Structures are given as structure tokens and as C-alpha cells.
Amino acid sequence: MNGKHWQPLISIDQLEPNDATPVRLNNTLLAVFDTIDGYFVSDARCTHAGANLCDGYFDGKNIECPLHQGLFDARTGRALAAPVTRHLKMIECRVIDNQLQVFM
């Protein structure tokens, strides 16, 4: 067994509607994206230079890094525009009783 399990992250009521919300879980900074297709969670740091993606522009599906304007699909983590070339690490999530949970 890999030690992963479902754990509570944040109440849906605490999220920034239609935006990216930074959430710290233990020592990891995560980004919760309220997208047009539902909630998605990733590592909050850009894979290019480590900027906090939650400070970037979010259009409901793509997040732009505030440092060098690299672009990621917030639903899949896919790197879409230079200078980013490495995809975001996405974390499986679900909503139970108005609580967003992550599988970590």
C-alpha cells in the first residue's frame, strides 16, 4: 500500500468562486481551481520558476503564471504555453458533504 488516503482539504464555502484558491496541507501548498467543469487541485507552484499560481490570471479553465505568463490547463495540469514545459502535478479530489477532499 502506498499510504495515500482521502483527507479533508477545505470547505466549498471557503473557496474563491470561479477562481484559484491557495490551500496549505501539511507542508504542501496546493491550488484549488473552481473551473467551468468542476473542482480540480494541483501543486500551487509553477513548474518553471516556482511562482504561486493562485496569484495568476484564471479564466475558468486556464491558469497563467504571474511571473513569466506560462499557461496551464487547470483541469488537466497540461502545460500550454512557454516558458512552461512540464505539466502540473494534479491531485485527485472529490466533494463529500460540502467538503473538498484530496487523495494524498
In a domain, 29, yes or no: yes
**Parent domain of 95:** 6-103
pLDDT digits (tens, 9 = 90+) for 47-66: 999 999 999 999 999 999 99
In a domain, 13, yes or no: yes
| Residue in the block written with cell 470547505 | 11
The candidate with the shortest Cα–Cα distance to 39, out of 95, 98, 85, is: 95
In a domain, 72, yes or no: yes
In a domain, 91, yes or no: yes
Cα(80)–Cα(87) distance, integer angstroms: 9
pLDDT digits (tens, 9 = 90+) for 55-94: 999 999 999 999 999 999 999 999 999 999 999 999 999 9
The enclosing domain of 69 has a CATH number of 2.102.10.10
Q: How many domains are contained in the chain?
A: 1
In a domain, 64, yes or no: yes
**Residues 92, 101 contacting (CB under 8 angstroms):** no
In a domain, 1, yes or no: no
pTM comes to 0.95
